[in-house]
Structure 1
């Protein structure tokens, strides 16, 4: 036999032996068939289609976060106007992205603008309110809406990942889903109880989620 071919064959054989050992003999050298299976399961990570598990698509309620930001702004503005003794009839949220200040004292407009410029101009546009001579309409800027959406999604992903890790599952998938900006894909290999998974994800009541698809457990194709 050609010496070069001989060494190549020995090298290939050694690599094959190493791979077999890594699959079946690591991390503990097996002394029984059960240990062989245990070693193999630790080295080969089966996906959802082979191992079985739960597939969820969750929708984060980012609009509620935007509405909460508007409510917070109403409270802050009301507190500041009262602390400066600025007279007005009403400050209220018109919808998720609009605030109306009604019948502001014209003599105190300069103080009102100072508060707006110092505290709110980064996130809010201000204009004269239609039909209210001394009223002002505030509109949440597009950049602020995008920031709130991104922050809400980031916090939701981190919260879901932290809660899923408590289940002790191997390599779950938690990531943004599809073209929408508010959906999260959760795949949990080995978790056959979608109701339990959903309850763990929503534990504590701090995460506003909506189930986009019914949680159906995936049966293992290896069965």
Structure 2
């Protein structure tokens, strides 16, 4: 006999109610979106009467999660950037000079004087005074090599050291270059993602393309130029030893040094050692603050290794100036008064409150390890997105209406039950999309349209099976029960195979393909639920009340 326990009935209707409640904010999209933006602004400290009024336009006790609209629906900015990996090789070689110099100094009695020579960006060249003892020098420098930290570089070292006459040539090994390229790309992806997340954009697409390119798509942002400004700001912070100070912009800094301008004193320049003592990569936190005179500043804190190097340097160089440089400009050049342990400090300068806050955000997000060259940029207007939304609505309504009419004409009362379940099914899809914060793209709309057609498949299997059982002279109750029992295996098999396809599309695909896979996968889950439980429960309730002697499907 047809039976449904009371707790099952409650659970089914409660699930439907919760799903439709979660989907409800999407029916008031503009209003709820403005409310969410106002709440976010209030949490960031912008607590104005206008923001409070906007925040009050939607009840706080109702769900406020929305389905995020993708770039093709909302409009926004599209960038394709190339990471200049050669910059990383140059930085590594510049940072290696102090280490090589310090390692060779104890052997000066035999190898002679040590002097850095002009080099290509990806190599370090060091001349020694006694080339007849080159073998000893090579052994010392090769001793600085470390194992490559990657699976592909097992058994390899990071430095390749050779000799050309009286010159030691140090470069990165092939295995280290591959490992460095991979780390640089991963770090660039993460930093770009952090910077975009800091400005509160919704569901950006940031993914790697090829060996050295990054695809960036951000819905809802004004223009590609605005996006480039957010991403392209380097905010590279370094602490460098000061060699000299000059007012000559054409001064020769010498090999291993750099000439950088002063940010606070126009016309003044500092000659600093290119290899930093500590860099922004060692930062673990940066916050806007105020100095002892009440001026805007930025407080910072290093990690353990950075704190140790910073502390050792300040202990050994008391009375000497050192430069705090930001994007190749000296922010300040204080004299070290005492040992600075703990790895924390404060950056002062001619900042406004807004500039100190922005600088703290950029430092927190980290410096890009290499320059980004933008190969392609597009600004997609919302008008194009609105056209896509309108076309998607029309397609969905036509498909939805055709399915409703077909089911009602083909299966009568049972078809009406299937139509009600189909409406609930679409609501549940949007409820799940809102709950997980998924992004709806134009292919995602296609996935929903496809789900509308597929959602009735399970009901068609059940109803056709009930027809066959009725032809076998089964009673109405027995026919309905057997119809659901015998159709269950076919329903499960068909939907599991489709769900596996959706999972493969999500794992292997990217961008629009993933959007299609998400809506298809969620649609399969909700359609199976509504077909097996919701439609069956409606049929059971109808049968319990009518108790028909015969039924027509």
Secondary structure of the residue that 1:42 maps to in structure 2? Answer: coil
Residue 214 (str. 1) matches residue 389 (str. 2): no
Map of 1:80 onto structure 2: 103
CA distance in structure 2 between the partners assigned to 1:103 and 1:212 by the alignment: 43
Q: Is the 8 Å Cα contact of residues 123 and 170 (structure 2) preserved in structure 1?
A: yes
Q: 1:212 to 1:40 in 2, by over 3 A?
A: farther
Residue 146 (str. 1) matches residue 178 (str. 2): yes
Q: Is the 8 Å Cα contact of residues 114 and 127 (structure 2) preserved in structure 1?
A: yes
Secondary structure of the residue that 1:43 maps to in structure 2? Answer: coil
Q: Cα deviations across residues 151-202 of structure 1 (Å, max 9, x unaligned)?
A: 22222222212211121122212221x22x2211111111123222221222
Residue 112 (str. 1) matches residue 147 (str. 2): no
Map of 2:218 onto structure 1: 188
TM-score by length of 1: 0.73
CA distance in structure 2 between the partners assigned to 1:42 and 1:51 by the alignment: 17
Q: Cα deviations across residues 110-161 of structure 1 (Å, max 9, x unaligned)?
A: 54134213213632223332xx3x4443332011112222222222222212
Report the alpha carbon displacement of residue 88 of structure 1 after superposing the two structures with TM: 4.5
Report the aligned-residue RMSD: 3.5
CA distance in structure 1 between the partners assigned to 2:136 and 2:92 by the alignment: 23
CA distance in structure 1 between the partners assigned to 2:63 and 2:216 by the alignment: 25
CA distance in structure 2 between the partners assigned to 1:192 and 1:12 by the alignment: 44
Instruction: Give unpaired runs (5+ residues) of structure 2.
Output: 27-31, 33-56, 147-156, 236-326, 328-366, 391-553
Q: Is the 8 Å Cα contact of residues 205 and 218 (structure 2) preserved in structure 1?
A: yes
Secondary structure of the residue that 1:96 maps to in structure 2? Answer: coil
Secondary structure of the residue that 1:214 maps to in structure 2? Answer: strand
Map of 2:256 onto structure 1: none
Map of 1:20 onto structure 2: 20
Q: Cα deviations across residues 9-68 of structure 1 (Å, max 9, x unaligned)?
A: 999877655432220169xxx9xxx749xx797331211111221111122221111111
Secondary structure of the residue that 1:71 maps to in structure 2? Answer: helix
TM-score by length of 2: 0.33
CA distance in structure 2 between the partners assigned to 1:196 and 1:25 by the alignment: 30
CA distance in structure 1 between the partners assigned to 2:104 and 2:128 by the alignment: 13
**Larger helix share, 1 or 2:** 2
CA distance in structure 2 between the partners assigned to 1:175 and 1:136 by the alignment: 40
> For 1:173, which of 202, 205, 213 is the aligned residue?
205
Map of 1:91 onto structure 2: 116
Q: Is the 8 Å Cα contact of residues 59 and 209 (structure 1) preserved in structure 2?
A: yes
Map 1:51-66 → 2, pairs under 5 A? 51-66=74-89
Instruction: Give unpaired runs (5+ residues) of structure 1.
Output: none
Residue 159 (str. 1) matches residue 191 (str. 2): yes
Further displaced range: 90-99 or 65-74:
90-99
Report the alpha carbon displacement of residue 215 of structure 1 after superposing the two structures with TM: 3.6
Q: How many residues align?
A: 208
Residue 125 (str. 1) matches residue 160 (str. 2): yes
Report the alpha carbon displacement of residue 211 of structure 1 after superposing the two structures with TM: 0.9
Map of 1:100 onto structure 2: 125
CA distance in structure 2 between the partners assigned to 1:218 and 1:20 by the alignment: 31
CA distance in structure 2 between the partners assigned to 1:118 and 1:218 by the alignment: 58
CA distance in structure 1 between the partners assigned to 2:76 and 2:63 by the alignment: 19
Q: 1:41 to 1:62 in 2, by over 3 A?
A: farther
> For 1:49, which of 66, 72, 80 is the aligned residue?
72
| Larger Rg, first or second structure (1 or 2) | 2
> For 2:90, which of 32, 53, 67 is the aligned residue?
67
CA distance in structure 1 between the partners assigned to 2:11 and 2:103 by the alignment: 78
